[in-house]
Amino acid sequence: MSARIHYTKPSITELEVEYATDAARHGWGERCYEYLGRFERQFKAHVATEFAIATSSCTGALHIGMAALGIGPGDEVIMADTNWIASAAPIVHLGAKPVFVDILPDSWCLDPARVQAAITPRTKAILAVHLYGNLCEMDRLLAIGEQYGIPVIEDAAEAIGSSYHGNRAGSMGIFGTFSFHGTKTVTTGEGGMFVTNNPSLYEAAITLSNHGRHASQPKQFWPDLLGFKYKMSNIQAAIGCAQLERIDELIEGKRRVFATYQAGLKDLPGVTLNPEPGGTQNGFWMPTAVFHTQLGIKRKDLQAALNPEGIDARVFFHPLSSLPMFDACPKNTNAYDIPERAINLPSYHDMTQADLDRVIAVVRKLYGAATREP
Ligand SMILES: *Cc1c(COP(=O)(O)O)cnc(C)c1O
């Protein structure tokens, strides 16, 4: 039996080990922020934003940014029903309410028409999450935001390597967030980033992220307001610096994996993978296959076919509104239907052709069996 194919794992070289070792040996005292400053500078340069704050997670970056925007009790934030809970939790923690709208059938990202229809006087922000690397329709969302005076936030945790008409995901909204969790395209083990081009929002966010201590406050240990503690460590940042030196290679790895799946499955009618519309680039964090209803291939069939072959089969996100802590919104028909006939395929950067062929063969075999049935 060949080795198990995990759905994802980081790409770590001697460079990451060297930098982390250096940070552990020397990155203290006067040098305790050296890798952190470097990581933030490198990241800003990559996404082309003016400001960046490294955080302990993307969840923390969202929490700080939403608090800096003044989101609080009674407010509503519109987002796609199809998402990981990390994007919704900070809204709830701030006392506001996530309003779940349906997704588009092709990008699996929030439907701008549904967003517009969900706007109320309480709407405080629109949260655009670029699902699995697929880009939201930013032109339309930003136009809606402008029309109603509502900021658009980008959760680009899954969209390293994705760009929309020349703009990197995460750089177009009022602020953007990223995750460097071990499953993401760029990793620091755990970690995140807040980016913005807005000086006053940056000011508010950096103060909140430092336990409410304003940079101009001369008194020691004097918080000016109640903030948060979501900082990244210098050792994590050291790993991040190495990853950013290799970022083109990391993105290329993800794109190669996707291209191989695409080539291996493209002759199967009714199987759709992540889209890459003209004028955009998809970082393809998570190659995902959706099977047309008529094929009758369900999530449980995919899991039953892949798991015994030693291949991780990760389920497409359940609708957040189907979870016990939220009210169900079954009218979000795409969000409720698509996960039932979809699967995330394994996609670590340096997956071998043989591993990719193994996954493709299992999917093709299942497809063949399903389509041969009367
Ligand atoms: C991974 C992920 C998060 C959470 O990131 P953490 O760094 O684990 O907090 C948030 N949003 C999206 C879209 C993600 O994929």
- What residue ranges do the domains of the chain occupy? 14-101+108-245, 247-371
CATH code: domain 247-371 is 3.90.1150.10
Query: Ligand 1 pocket: which of 7, 135, 158 to mutate (most atoms <8 Å of CB)?
Result: 158
Mean pLDDT of 240-260: 98
Q: Please provide residue 264's backbone torsions phi and psi, each rounded to the nearest 5 degrees.
A: -80, -15
Longest dimension (CA), the chain: 78
How buried is 154 (Cβ within 10 angstroms: 0-12 exposed, 13-18 middle, 19+ buried)?
A: buried
Tokens representing residue 299 in the block: 């999530």
Mean pLDDT of 102-124: 98
Measure 368 CA to ligand 1 centroid, in angstroms: 35
In terms of DSSP H, where are the helices of 266-372? 299-306, 333-337, 353-372
Distance (Å, whole) CA 213 – CA 289: 47
pLDDT value at residue 183: 97
Is the predicted pLDDT of residue 13 greater than 70, yes or no?
yes
> Residue 83 CA: which ligand 1 atom is closest?
13
Is the predicted pLDDT of residue 24 greater than 90, yes or no?
yes
Buried b (16+ CB within 10 A) or exposed e, 335-357: bbbbbebbbbbbbbbebeeebbe
CB 303 within 8 A of CB 313: yes
Angle at which helices 58-68 and 199-209 pack, to 10 degrees?
A: 120
Strands 123-129 and 76-80: parallel
Nearest Cα residue to atom 10 of ligand 1: 86
What is the pLDDT of the chain when averaged over all its residues?
97
Is the predicted pLDDT of residue 279 greater than 90, yes or no?
yes
Is the predicted pLDDT of residue 1 greater than 70, yes or no?
no
pLDDT value at residue 372: 85
Distance (Å, whole) CA 157 – CA 177: 6
Query: Ligand 1 pocket: which of 58, 77, 134 to mutate (most atoms <8 Å of CB)?
Result: 58
Tokens representing residue 319 in the block: 């609708």
pLDDT value at residue 363: 98
How buried is 70 (Cβ within 10 angstroms: 0-12 exposed, 13-18 middle, 19+ buried)?
A: exposed
pTM of the model: 0.97
CA-based nearest residue to 345, from 318, 294, 296, 305: 305
Domains 14-101+108-245 and 247-371 alike in fold = no
Strands 97-101 and 280-281: unpaired
Q: Percent of the chain at pLDDT above 70? A: 99
Measure 64 CA to ligand 1 centroid, in angstroms: 14
Measure 374 CA to ligand 1 centroid, in angstroms: 43
pLDDT value at residue 190: 98
Nearest Cα residue to atom 13 of ligand 1: 157
The single residue listed with the structure tokens 């996100």 is 317
CATH architecture of 14-101+108-245: 3-Layer(aba) Sandwich (3.40)
